[in-house]
Structure 1
Amino acid sequence: MDATRLVAQAERVLGGDPQPEEVIAEAWHAYELTEAVVRMVRGRQAPYLRESVAGARGVRGEDSVSIPGQPAGRVGGVPPSLAELLPPAETFGGGRTAVLTGAGASRVAQLTTVRHPERALAALDALLVGIGRALIGLIGTAADEQAYWQCVEALDAVEEANDQLRSLGRGGPG
């Protein structure tokens, strides 16, 4: 599935009334997806893309970026199990089942292509900003220390994903 469609799935989840566990799960999904997309785009080595990501108004490429023959989910350094990263159900007073429905175990496993790199990267950037804001709100309302630190770890992952996007814009190693 195209990266932009996967970002839209996350936006739909966050556009509702997500539970804290869902926000944390979306943070990790976004981290994984950003890492995979950046690797796919970087493998393409498109100079116009670096300019576009950096904010310059350059040529808009319509090239697809994909890694043929490589199984989805192996593109980036995907954590072994999203369930391991989620807070226990009692941390926020809810259950984990809602987190894993709709999104599956990991959105990055569904990633097959990046048809429009600039659009995908811009959508990822906007998604990461939204998740970051939601996590900051959760940090302020965390019921206990464990919930607080799980939000902080998810926020760190979102910031790292943002760093990867900025690095791609500069043409750096990421």
Structure 2
Amino acid sequence: MDAVRLIVTSGRALAAGGEEADILAEVWQAQALAQAIGSRLAVYGPPELRGEALGLTELAGRGCGVLHTPELAPGELRAAQLTELGDARQALLRLAGLLGEIGIALVAVASSADDETTYWSCVEAIDAADESRDRVLEMLRKLADRDVEPERTAPWPEREPVLREAG
């Protein structure tokens, strides 16, 4: 499945909410998906994105690591369903939005957490999601810079030839 479809699916699942455990499982799924997208970009993406993509992979992995790994049935791990990136710009735009939604969901869970472990896990996951989003935004900036054509400038101003009238 392509990245954009998986990101949209994750966003919808996160928006559906539910119990604290359900929200944290969706956050974990989204972070795992961000990690997979970063990994794919690091290997197959444009060369100018590879460093940031590796950073995204590491940060999203940290986001997964601070949360309890959910018990998923075979085939439920969205990151494992990633088969193609499709349009990198579109995937990164959607991923930036999803990472922002993750942060908001985690703030809500942290605010209502009954125990300190959940609270601090959410705080660390918020940090990882925020830093991951920063990496995605940097990749988008690099793509935009790449697409801007430098202005052609002549070494001196071009002038139209002056024609004299015969007379």
Which 5+ residue runs of structure 1 have no aligned equivalent? 51-75, 88-95
CA distance in 2, matches of 1:21, 1:103: 19
Q: Say if 2:67 is the partner of 1:85.
A: yes
Pairing partner for 2:88 from 117, 120, 127: 117
Counterpart for residue 145 of structure 2 = none
Aligned partners of 1:29 and 1:108 also within 8 Å:
yes
Which 5+ residue runs of structure 2 have no aligned equivalent? 50-56, 143-167
Counterpart for residue 107 of structure 1 = 78
- Structure 1 residue 4: Cα displacement: 0.8
Q: Say if 2:118 is the partner of 1:136.
A: no
Aligned partners of 1:3 and 1:114 also within 8 Å:
yes
For each residue in 1:6-56, what CA deviation from the matched residue of structure 2 results, as whole angstroms up to 9, or x when unmatched? 112112212223222222222222222223223333432177xx7xxxxxx
TM-score (norm 1): 0.61
Which structure is larger by alpha-carbon Rg, 1 or 2? 2
Matched residues, percent identical?
A: 33
For each residue in 1:71-126, what CA deviation from the matched residue of structure 2 results, as whole angstroms up to 9, or x when unmatched? xxxxx5686xx799328xxxxxxxx66xx36982x321111101121221111111
Matches within 5 A, 1:19-168: 19-42=19-42, 43-45=44-46, 85-86=67-68, 100=72, 104=76, 106-168=77-139
Aligned partners of 1:7 and 1:127 also within 8 Å:
yes
CA gap of 1:138–1:103, structure 2 versus 1, over 3 A, is: farther
TM-score (norm 2): 0.64
Q: Greater relative contact order (Cα 8 A, min sep 6): structure 1 or 2?
A: 1
